[in-house]
Amino acid sequence: MELNLDIEKVKTLMNDIEKSIDILKKYQDLSLAEFQKNQTAIDQVAYRLQRAIEGMISLGTHILAKTPGEGIQKDYGSIFLSLSKLGIIPDDRAVVFRKMASYRNRLVHDYYHVTEEELHDKMQNNLGDFEEFLGYVSDYLEKIKYEKK
């Protein structure tokens, strides 16, 4: 299958997700009480979680847009289900990544209900999900690179 991925775009998106992860990790040493007193940390964590999730969505959208028969998805969660059907990510992880897309919507549209506790929890417990997604995309890029040869 011949894909016409914009590799520079893919690299830029992946680098941006990695940058967000690095910034989020800087705040992981904060206890919940310290985090709640630090408005800069709260703002950075909310923004960088949103940005990293949007990067995942953009990466998935780009891959699917360049995959024959896939095209544009009806919602962000569908992106990860479609990536799973293509074998790019495992089915069980597609469910997790789909929930992350829903959380992005919450950060953007329902931000006034997002608590400091949940932001702290996501920062402490979910950064590995971003790294895992990047690993799946990297594996896929390697696979299609060798299929072209």
**What are the two backbone dihedrals, phi and then psi, of residue 126, each rounded to the nearest 5 degrees?**
-125, 5
| Cβ(88)–Cβ(137) below 8 Å | yes
* DSSP reduced 3-state for 102: helix
At 2, is the pLDDT very low, low, confident or very high (cuts 50, 70, 90)?
low
At 129, is the pLDDT very low, low, confident or very high (cuts 50, 70, 90)?
very high
At 77, is the pLDDT very low, low, confident or very high (cuts 50, 70, 90)?
confident
Per-residue pLDDT, averaged over 73-82, amounts to 84
Helix axes 91-109, 127-148, angle to 10 degrees: 120
Residue 121 CA, chain-centre distance (Å), reads 17
Residues 16-61 have pLDDT tens digits of 999 999 999 999 999 999 999 999 999 999 999 999 999 999 999 9
The yes-or-no verdict on residue 73 having pLDDT over 70 is no
Residues 86-100 have pLDDT tens digits of 999 999 999 999 999
The yes-or-no verdict on residue 147 having pLDDT over 80 is no
| pLDDT at residue 148, rounded to an integer | 56
Residue that wins the pLDDT comparison between 1 and 20: 20
> Across all residues in the chain, what is the average pLDDT?
91
- What domains sit in the chain, N to C, each tagged with a CATH number? 7-148 (1.20.120.580)
| Cβ(16)–Cβ(57) below 8 Å | no
